[in-house]
Each structure stands twice: as structure tokens, then as C-alpha cells.
Structure 1
Amino acid sequence: ATVLANAVSALILLRLLLKTDSIIKLEWSKLHLDMPTLKEIVSIGLPAGIQGAVFSLANVVIQGAINSLGTEVIAASSASLILEMVAFSIFSSFTQACTTFVGQNYGARQLARCRKILRLCLLEDVICTGICMLIVFLFGDRLIALINDDSEVIRLGYIRASIVFCAYIFSLSYDVMSGYLRGFGISFLPSLLTILGVCGVRFLWVAFVFPVYHDFRSLMYVYPVSMGVTAVLIFAALMWCRPSKRFA
């Protein structure tokens, strides 16, 4: 079903690109590789791709630790993860918007607008995150019950959701700031710092902290700690690079 849905979506989008009269119209006869453009795409996209791969590896390590705590913890974590995925899809949209609009205004040399975009995206993301946190704190147990109605699963799932959603305040900060830097073509540095902050802290936490405090709550604290460290690192990088002033 997933493969079929993706295929149908791709065909619909392809048809739209072929039929449109706008600047994004796809013409088969004009398709070719432009090496300077390809090089720029790779220089920005490859570090982000590597970051995503290492990020997934860190989550695999955490999932392995979760699996060692029993079936109820696994079920609770999975139920909470569904809520997190829905919320994160909303949060990440501000990061994508920040990168897109900063890139456009940087290209047009409207650098003052770039700083304004960063502030607006951070503000909008904070408001959105605050609303999601409020929903989780008030109705998180009921939402988890829609997925799994076991009382212990609901209790454990609420523990994860309440901790992770609080951690999202750090996540949105470093994501939006990273998106801002990528809008200026600075991709390697935020990717490296995210790998060190998020993935490095999670590896160390599972290796050294979790064996000492072997319970679900202590394991979930890895999210606010790793995201908080990363937010500090990305903010420091932003203050050091100051792209809107340097490129001026």
C-alpha cells in the first residue's frame, strides 16, 4: 500500500509538471546535467544526508536500549512515537520554509529579510510547539489510548511523550537555525555539530548512563539532553558565522 501510494503520488506530480505553464514546467528535451549546479546541490545536500543517516543510527541504538526493557515499554514507545512523528512533520515545515526563503532572499541580496525570516520561523515554531505540548500534557494519555488501551502502556507512553515534547523546544531551535545557515549555503558545519550533539550524546548516554540508571524514564532524558547540547552548538555556530553580516 505504501509503495502504491508513493507511485500514484509521483505520477500525479509528474503530470502536473509536464502540463503546467509556469517556470517549473518539465520538458524532457531540455533535461541535462549542469555540473556547477550539481556540485552546489551535492555540497549542501550531502552533509544533510549523512547527518540523517547517522541520526537514524543513533535512534537504532536507543531502540535497542528500549527493547531491553520489555514488551510493555516497546509498545508504549511505539505508541508515543506515532504522536511524535505527526508533530515533527509540522515542526520540520518551519525549518524547510526557513531554508527556502532565506535562500531566495540571499540570492536577491535582501539580507535584512533573511534575519527577519529566522526570527519569524523561530517564533512560529515556538507557538506551534507550545500548542502541541499543551495538547500532549492535557490529552496525551487519551491519544495513546487510541493506539493501545493497556493501562501500563498508556502510563509509559505518556512518560515518553511528555519528556520528548518538552525536548522539542530545543529541537526546533537547532533545526531552524540549521535551516537558516543552509539557506546561505553553509551545510557542513550544522551537519557536523548535529552529529556531535545529537548522535554523540545519545551514543554516550546509552553506553554510560543507561547501564547505571536502567529504567525507561532515565533513557528518555537522553532526548532533552542531546537536543539541548545541539541547540547550544548550533547557536554558537550561528554567532560565529553571522552569515547575514559576513556576506553583506
Structure 2
Amino acid sequence: MNQTYMKEQKILPLLLKMSLPMVISMMVNSLYNIVDSFFVAKISENAMTALSLVFPVQNLISSVMIGFAIGINAVISFFMGAQNQKQADKAASQGMLLSCIHAVVLTVICIAGMPVFLKMFTKDAEIVSLGLKYSNIAFAFSIMLGIELMFEKVFQAVGRMNASMVCLMTGCIVNIVLDPMMIFGIGPFPAMGIEGAALATGIGQTSAAVLYIIIYIVKPIPVKFRKSEMRIEGSMAKRLYSIGMPASLSLALPSILISVLNVILAAYSAVYVFVLGVYYKLQTFLYLPANGVVQGMRPLMGYNYGAGEHERVRKIYKTSMVLIFAIMAAGTILCLAIPGSLIGLFTSNPDTINAGETALRIISAGFIVSTVSVTSAGALEGLGKGFPSLIISVCRYVAVIIPVAFVMSRITGAVGVWHAFWITEVITSVISYIVYKKNVK
């Protein structure tokens, strides 16, 4: 398969061709996240609170898996652009082995640590019990998640976006269908409650991973997984981790942020913890489509950078920013127009809905300006510049927002935490642009 189209076709049509399948996939994935939370919320508000408390650890596992897969993606794209097939195969093969090792280690550590983690945030025995029931099952599927995500990024690196879209959507649809059946006991399944939600998630991830393997066998891709190349080499591992580790940390930082904000908000009311959990479910519907554009952008940036097409790299960056801006603008309009309806998907409590409306209106003020940070961080990852990308993420999720949230909450109460979001996006957008320009000349 000749991939020279990555440096020959017009940028906007090419970027749309690469991004739209992933945007559609991410939208379906966002729908899954919302549907999953919708059904869990029907069990009880305690079940939804438990899910919110488990989310940071669940996100941590996904972050490590996705981050390392981004490293695999960037390295393969670079070597394909440089016409070095052997090194591209090595990156894929060694990346697969390391992804499986990461999954096993994370499964053991996270399942063992969940009881202590949950008790840090609540003394309610029912919430702790529900959290453990969900996490023990969901985390057991980490290796399937790791395989799914590794295949996803390899397929994207060689331009097979449609196949990646089909696999991701298959996993999400399986999950959406099984959720109500397993939670409430519909059809052949017994009512399993929150455990059913976790099992549906795991089966969805497994379905996607199996479909990737079938497509890889039936319709091979340019990059090959070779047993002979799976012996870990220091130079290749260093290259994978130099991009994968910063990307993993960038993706894991929201977990740290959510946990810290939960501590701040819990001092005021559990309602605010609930609202924060709902917000992060809703914002996936916005940021995941934006991430779909980033996923389409990354292999194009890496391939053209490896091929020495630096002017084309700059044009891809600017075009991607315009597309992400449009997505963020749409999200802002929705949060300002129907915040009550969005929060009402997860609760009928009028006090909670009122608190959620306030949160969405304030937080959405930072969506559009975050375009600069999202685009710059993704572009730097695509170019193999993991640590500059990490600087942007550290600012967005730790260095700026946590101090601002703490100070603002002392001045205006819980609502100050919501103001910290848009303040942080404004500050970080400036930092992001400077970091990008400094590292891409």
C-alpha cells in the first residue's frame, strides 16, 4: 500500500478524510459514555457517585494505554514517512508486547488499591461497595483494552481510519446494547446492577479488540507484527517511551485533577462532586470529537515531518485548529442554551440540576479558547515531541488549575472551582502557543 498520498493530497480534504471516521467514532464513544452513566444513574444516585469516584482510576488505566499507543503511532508514522519499513515493524511488534505488560501490571495494582482509594473520598459503605463491584470487573478487562487501543493507533498510523472507526464503533454499540440488558436483567441476562455495567464495558472492549485482529488477518496493513521483532531493544523502547510516557502523563493528569477537585468540592456538598462527575461525562461528548481531529492530524504530522515536508506540517496544524475551533464553538452553544436538559439526563433532583446549570454555563466560557491547547499538544505528539506536549497538559490539569481552583473556592465557594476552568484555559492557551512555536520552527 503506497502512502505517499499523505504528503501529496490537498490538506483540508486529506485531514477530513483522516479525521471524520475518528470524529464519528468518538461521537459514538461519547454517546456510550453518556448512555452508560444514564443507566447507572437509574440504579441510584449513590451508584452514579460511585462511578464518578472510580472514574479517575479508570481514566488513569486508559491514559497509560492510550498514551503509550500514541507513542507507537508517532514512531510508526515517522518511519513510514522516512520509508523505513523494518523499523516501523519493530515499533509495532515491540509496542504490542509492552502494551500487554502495562495492562497486566495496571490491573493488579489498581484492583488492589481501590478499597483504600475509595475510602479517601467517602465514608458511605454503600458507595464504596458499589465502586468496588464496578471496578473489580471493569479493571479485569484492562488487557483487552490495551490490545484494542494498540491496534487502533497502529491502524491510524498507516491511514486505515475507516477500519479503526468500524472497530471502535462496534465496541461502543455492543456496550450500549448490553448495558440495559445486564444492568436491569433484560432478555437472557439476570439483573446485575452496577456489575452489569462493568461487564458490558469489558465485553465491548473485547469485541473491538477481536474485530481488529480479524481485520488485520483478513485485510493486512503495511505494518506487520512479527514475533522475531518482539525482543525489546533499548533504542526502540527509548523512542516509544519518549513519546508514550509524556502522552500517558498528559492523559492521566485529568485523573489527578478530578481527585483534587473532588476533595475541594466535598467540603461544600456531595452535590458538587456529583455535578463534577456529570460534567466530565458530558465534556467527553465535546473533547472526544476534537480528539478525533487530533487523531487524524497526528499521523499526517508525523509522516510529513519524517518526509521533510515542513511547510505542509505548518498547514496541517492551522487547518486542524480551525476544525477543532468549530467543534468547541458548537459545545459552547449547547452548554449555554440547554444546560438544565443536559444535567437532567443524570438526575431529577432540582437542586442538583440548578447547581449543574451554573457549572456548565461558567465552565463553557473556556471551551473555544482551549482550541489552541488541544491542537498544539496533539501536533507536538504527532511530531514526536512528547515532553513539550506534556508541559501544556501539566498547565491545563495541574500547575494552573489546581491553585486557581483552591484560591477561587476560598473566595466564592464551590462556584469558584467552575471559574477556575475558564481562567486556566485562557492562561494555558498563551503558554501552548509559545511552547509550540518554540519547538516547531
TM-score range, shorter chain: 0.7 to 0.9
CA distance in 2, matches of 1:148, 1:55: 24
What is the one-letter code of the residue matched to 2:284?
M
- Counterpart in the other structure of 2:84: none
Change (3 A) 1:206 1:76: closer
Give the deviation of 1:92 after TM superposition: 1.6
**Cα distance change on mapping 1:217 and 1:142 into 2, 3 Å:** same
Question: What is the alpha-carbon distance in structure 1 between the residues aligned to residue 352 and residue 310 of structure 2?
Answer: 50
Counterpart in the other structure of 2:398: 199
Aligned match of 1:103: 302
Counterpart mapping for 1:79-228 below 5 A: 79-214=278-413, 216-228=414-426
Structural RMSD (CA): 2.2
Would you say 1:239 and 2:440 are equivalent positions? no
Instruction: Give the aligned residue type for 1:13.
Output: Y
Provide TM-score, normalisation by structure 2. 0.51
- TM-score, length basis structure 1: 0.87
Structure 2: stretches of 5+ with no match in the other structure: 1-198
Residues 17 and 25 in structure 1, CA contact (< 8 A), matched pair in contact too:
no
Counterpart-to-counterpart distance in 2, 1:19 and 1:31: 22
- The Cα shift of 1:238 comes to 1.9
Output aligned runs, 1:48-87, within 5 Å: 48-87=247-286
* Residues 18 and 27, structure 1, Cα contact 8 Å, conserved in 2: no
**What is the CA–CA distance in structure 2 between the aligned matches of 1:205 and 1:81, rounded to whole Å?**
19
Structure 2 CA distance for partners of 1:100 and 1:3, relative to 1, 3 Å: same
Check 1:20–1:237 CA distance in 2 against 1; reply closer, same or farther (3 A cut). same
- The Cα of 1:188 is off from its aligned counterpart by 0.8
SS at match of 2:345: helix
**Paired residues for 1:9-20 under 5 Å:** 9-20=208-219
Do the aligned partners of 1:197 and 1:233 also contact (CA within 8 Å) in 2? no
**Number of matched pairs:** 242
User: In structure 1, what is the Cα distance between the partners aligned to 2:383 and 2:436?
Assistant: 11
Secondary structure in structure 2 of the residue aligned to 1:109: coil
On the 8 A contact 2:409/2:415 being kept in 1, the answer is no
User: Whole-Å Cα distance in 2 between the matches of residues 34 and 111 of structure 1?
Assistant: 30
Q: Which residue of 1 aligns with 2:427?
A: 229
Between 74-83 and 145-154, report the one with greater CA deviation.
Answer: 74-83
Provide the C-alpha distance between the structure 2 equivalents of 1:207 and 1:153, rounded to a whole number of angstroms: 22
Q: Return closer, same or farther for 1:197/1:7 CA change in 2, 3 Å cut-off.
A: closer
Alpha-carbon deviations, 1:167-197, whole Å to 9, x = none? 1223231121122222222211221243145
Give the fraction of aligned pairs with identical amino acids, expressed as a percent: 17
Q: Distance in 2 between matches of 1:89 and 1:49?
A: 16
In the TM superposition, what is the alpha-carbon distance from 1:120 to its structure 2 partner?
0.9
Q: Which moved more, 1:23-32 or 1:98-107?
A: 23-32
Deviations 1:43-66 (A, max 9, x none): 111112223333421221012112
Equivalent residue in structure 1 for 2:242, among 43, 67, 78: 43
Instruction: Show CA shifts across 1:66-109 (max 9, x none).
Output: 22221332333333332112212112222222222111111122
Checking the alignment, whether the CA contact within 8 Å between 1:18 and 1:25 is kept in structure 2 is: no
Q: Distance in 2 between matches of 1:158 and 1:186?
A: 38
